[in-house]
Amino acid sequence: MWAKVRIPLIVTGVLLLCALLLLLFGPGAAWLAEHDYGNVPAKSRAEKIGNARNAARGMFLQVIAGALGIGAFVYTARNFVLARQQSELNRRTLELHAETAERQAETALATLAQAESAQLTERFARAVDQLGEASDQVRVGSVYALGRIARDSRADHPDVMEVLTTFVRGHSGPSVPPAVQAAMSVLGRRTTGFDVAPLVLRGAQLPRLEVHGAHLAGADLRGADLTGAVLPKARLGRARLDGARLADARLDGARLRRTRLTGVTARGVSLTDARLDGAALDDADLTRAVLRAARLDGARGARCVLATADLTDAALPGAAFPDADLGDARLVRCDLDGAVLTGARLTAADLRDARLRGADLSGTRLDAADLRGADLSAADLGGASLVQARLAGARVHGVDLTGVLMAGLDLTGALPDAATTVPPGWTRDEAGALAREP
């Protein structure tokens, strides 16, 4: 409606304005001039009325200009106020839209989370039910389904781990079923950052289990049967394996730092290049074990049996193996600096080029041991027995050899220094090596 009458109104307004201007500048100006100079003599009247008429018109122009200026100011001010009001309205509208969008997004996320939670709960319940099926194929599928749930949901991860460890403990036996093998694979490859407690696999029967690079750090495997298991590069740091059976298991490259292996039966176990720093091996049976290039820094193994074990290039600095049995063990180039081997049995052990600097070998049986090229500097050999031991080229710098049991002692070829205390009946030859007195 307004659009139809707007143009006629504008035209009418313009015509009225023009008429007003003509009235002001014509009759209006003349009237003012006549009013001011109507009584002036005729001689100067025409001139003064003309001047007055022009002055009136100038005044009208000033008034009109002032009115236009005031109108422009009012118009500008009004537009500014309206613009601010519109800007504030737009801002509030945007804020309202943003708040509405945020609430909608929160509602959508909450709905999605509820849907996902319900879906996960359904998947979890279905997978747990399938674990009880007789079919190996169904059970294996349910195990991997649970593993997927554990990866997808941090909140459900602990429950899945508990279900799987319970399943392993309850279904293991003389041979590892496919579902148990799958469960151990899932446990070994879980997202460890989601863990809230160590895995509990105490007493699990897992002979010949095979999982590469399994993450089992801190796991409770006390009394577990891992005979013949293949677990290369397994991570078993701080795990508890007390009393476990590891005979003929393959743990090459495994990490067993500070792991408890007290009383384990691990005959023939392979631990090549393994890390057993600070491990507890008290009363462990590692007969025939392969520990080539393994590191056992600071490990302890009172009464540990390592008979015929291969520790070539192994490192045991600061290790404590009192009363251990290392008979016939291969310790070529082994690092035993500062090790405690008091009362240990190293009969017929191969210690060629081994480092035993500062080691405590008091009361140690080294009968028939091969110590050629070994470094025994500053070692304590008090009460040690070296019957038929070979010491050619062995460094005995700073060693008190008078405390060694003399029966059957042969120090021929040993390399003393000025601080070495040589027992009676022995002297230094021209090359500085020990030789019997003539």
Summarised one tens digit per residue, pLDDT across range 107-152 is 777 767 666 666 667 777 788 888 888 888 999 999 999 999 899 8
CA distance 412 to 116: 79
- The chain-wide mean pLDDT, for the chain, equals 87
Residue 354: pLDDT band by 50, 70, 90 thresholds?
very high
Taking residues 406-417, report their average pLDDT: 86
Give the number of other CB atoms < 10 A from CB of residue 260.
21
Q: What is the pLDDT, as a whole number, of residue 53?
A: 60
Alpha-carbon radius of gyration of the chain: 51
The residue whose two tokens read 């106020």 is 81
Of 272, 196, 279, nearest in space to 236 by CA: 279
Four-residue CA torsion sign, 20, 24, 30, 31: positive
CA distance 180 to 26: 114
Residue 349: pLDDT band by 50, 70, 90 thresholds?
very high
Taking residues 78-86, report their average pLDDT: 84
Check whether 212 has a pLDDT greater than 90. yes
The residue whose two tokens read 């459900």 is 156
- Provide the whole-model pTM: 0.74
Give the number of other CB atoms < 10 A from CB of residue 149.
20
Residue 273's identity, in one-letter code, is D
Query: What string of H, E and C letters represents the secondary structure of the chain?
Result: CHHHHHHHHHHHHHHHHHHHHHHHHHHHHHHHHHHHHCCCCHHHHHHHHHHHHHHHHHHHHHHHHHHHHHHHHHHHHHHHHHHHHHHHHHHHHHHHHHHHHHHHHHHHHHHHHHHHHHHHHHHHHHHHHHHCCCCHHHHHHHHHHHHHHHHHCCCCHHHHHHHHHHHHHHHCCCCCCHHHHHHHHHHHCCCHHHCCCCCECCCCECCCCECCCCECCCCECCCCECCCCECCCCECCCCECCCCECCCCECCCCECCCCECCCCECCCCECCCCECCCCECCCCECCCCECCCCECCCCECCCCECCCCECCCCECCCCECCCCECCCCECCCCECCCCECCCCECCCCECCCCECCCCECCCCECCCCECCCCECCCCECCCCECECCECCCCECCCCEHHHCCCCCECCCCCECCCCCECCCCEEECCCCCEEECC
CA distance 179 to 138: 9
Lowest mean pLDDT among 214-218, 284-288, 369-373, 424-428: 424-428
Tell which wins on pLDDT, 352 or 63. 352
Summarised one tens digit per residue, pLDDT across range 366-409 is 999 999 999 999 999 999 999 999 999 999 999 999 889 877 78
Lowest mean pLDDT among 186-195, 358-367, 428-437: 428-437
Q: What is the pLDDT, as a whole number, of residue 107?
A: 75
Summarised one tens digit per residue, pLDDT across range 37-81 is 555 555 555 556 566 666 666 666 677 777 777 877 887 888 888
Tell which wins on pLDDT, 178 or 42. 178
Percent pLDDT > 90 in the chain is: 60
